[in-house]
Amino acid sequence: MEKVFARPSCLKDKPFRYCPGCSHGVLHRIIAETIDRFGIRDRTIGIAPVGCAVFAYDYLDIDMVEVPHGRPPAVATGMKRSRPENIIFSYQGDGDLAAIGTAEIVHAAARGENITVLFVNNGNYGMTGGQMAPTTLLGQKTTTTPAGRDVRSAGNPIRVCEMLATLDGPVYIERVALDSPKNILAAKRAIQKAFRYQIEGRGFSLIEMLSLCPTDWGMAPVQAVDWVRDHMAPYFPLGVYKDQGSAGKAETD
Ligand SMILES: Cc1ncc(C[n+]2csc(CCOP(=O)(O)OP(=O)(O)O)c2C)c(N)n1
């Protein structure tokens, strides 16, 4: 009998502790499948800061480093420069990457470091109970914006892909969503491409993933799927913002 499906070798055989409908488990699987696909398990190092990403070490059976809030691009820079044979990816939430770590991501992108950044945009600070993040939508209720985010006091949400795509440093920037099987497959192709570009030495890649956080959004998972499609994606359009390596071969599922 032909085997058509198997657990990725670097995904541990244990249940995820994430909330129902959370996107982190989906992303963990995609990362594990990508590492298996390229046969890079022995030389891949993941970097996770605080935030729900901190649990990734518990599921991905690879070398993982935990770093302070917002600092993954700085740590990734040092690791990649000192050990260029390793494949280095960061796994960052929107509070991490777009608030406390804004300086680090902007400068790592501007320098064009040969690293892969996986950016989980779930519209809030998930781990600490759903506070406003830079990506919280106008009008969106969070624990720190109980009446909805107000532009007069909290400013506008930040579109990270669009902002970083203005820099000369990055090679590849794409925004995807983890809200449907079709979009998850597209996310997998984007992540594979970003890893391939690093393996080929092309430079800095960032994949932003619109992700579900039903618990902190106060929604059922099915409502959260609708929220991503109807509210997040119109403000954060999916698509490729920069791809300077597209002459390479296309990814397959
Ligand atoms: C320097 C520092 N400041 C604040 C915190 C508290 N803290 C822990 S997780 C977190 C928010 C993480 O949100 P995000 O990066 O969006 O990730 P998510 O949990 O939503 O996946 C904060 C503020 C901390 N651990 N360290």
Please determine, looking at this structure, whether the domain spanning 24-243 carries the CATH number 3.20.20.105.
no
Res 250: pLDDT: 59
Res 175: pLDDT: 98
C-beta of 117 in contact with ligand 1 (< 6 A) = no
Give the residue, by CA position, lying nearest to ligand 1 atom 1: 69
On whether the CB atoms of residues 94 and 137 are closer than 8 A, the answer is no
C-beta of 119 in contact with ligand 1 (< 6 A) = no
For residue 41, the CA-to-ligand 1 centroid distance in Å is 28
Encode the chain (253 residues) as per-residue pLDDT tens digits.
Answer: 898 888 999 999 999 999 999 999 999 999 999 999 999 999 999 999 999 989 999 999 999 999 999 999 999 999 999 999 999 999 999 999 999 999 999 999 999 999 999 999 999 999 999 999 999 999 999 999 999 999 999 999 999 999 999 999 999 999 999 999 999 999 999 999 999 999 999 999 999 999 999 999 999 999 999 999 999 999 999 999 999 987 555 566 5
Exposure on the CB side of residue 200, measured as CA atoms within 13 A? 16
C-beta of 50 in contact with ligand 1 (< 6 A) = yes
Nearest partner of 248 among 175, 192, 207, judged by Cα: 192
Any idea where the domains of the chain sit in the sequence?
A: 24-243
